[in-house]
Amino acid sequence: MPAPGRRGFTKAELQSFRDAVVPDLLPATGLKLLFVGINPGLWTAATQTHFAHPVNRFYPALLAAGIIERPIDPSAGMTDEDRLHLTSRGIGITNIVHRATARADELTDDELRAGGRQLEELVAERHPTLVALAGITAYRIAFGRRKAVLGRQPETLGGAELWVVPNPSGLNAHETVDSLARAYAAAARAAGVI
């Protein structure tokens, strides 16, 4: 993690987190809404906090959607209080692929398909009400749904309602905090979180 008061990492520091794993953030019971990222970025791996890169719009979108009630700034690492704020609402976070890369396009199709199978097992084991997978291209590859579109999917995943929502990465430039908030709020309402 960055030193106290420090808000960044050098390129070499970030590269040292390549292939690191970030543990899932899951409530002990009562999982309603499971957000699924593609895979951890290097900043996420460095801070051990999902969606942690400073330009990632995930937490601002959750706040704008009314899914969380206070800002969360994960860029230097999420606090225990932040984690509790999410899990006490029945919100969990995981990834399709668990190894960190600089960009999601570094993953192979085989990794995405294997990650999809692991995700299905996790969902069958933890029984969330709804799974919101953030990234249409990764979803299409991982689950062989080449024509899938954003929104609620016709099939379930491990028995859970399945939605594909826009990826909040700063690289997904055509999405805004407001457009992400609308998509996330729709999934959260369906899950009974808001």
- Rounded to two decimals, the pTM is 0.94
pLDDT of residue 173: 77
List the CATH number of the domain containing 145: 3.40.470.10
In three-state secondary structure terms, 17 is coil
In a domain, 164, yes or no: yes
User: Mean pLDDT score of the chain, rounded to an integer?
Assistant: 94
* Residue 6 domain flag: no
5 domain-assigned: no
- pLDDT given at position 163: 98
| Per-residue model confidence as pLDDT tens digits over 145-190 | 999 999 999 999 999 999 999 999 877 778 999 999 999 999 999 9
pLDDT interval class at 7 (50, 70, 90): low
How much is the pLDDT for 172? 79
Is 11 inside any structural domain? no
pLDDT at 44: 95
Residue 1 is assigned to a structural domain of this protein: no
pLDDT in tens, 75-84: 888 999 999 9
Domain that holds residue 33: 19-191
Residue 175 forms part of a structural domain: yes
- Do the domain assignments include residue 126? yes
Q: For residues 60 and 141, what is the distance between their CA atoms, to the nearest angstrom?
A: 28
Examine residue 151 and state whether it is found in any structural domain, yes or no: yes
Residue 2 pLDDT exceeds 70: no
What does the alpha-carbon distance between residue 41 and residue 156 come to, in Å, rounded to a whole number? 27
**Predicted local distance difference test score (pLDDT) of residue 42:** 96
Task: Report how many domains make up the chain.
Answer: 1
Burial call 104-139: b when 16+ CB within 10 Å, e when fewer: beebeeebbeebbeebbebbeebebbbbbbbbbebb
Judge whether residue 191 has pLDDT over 60: yes
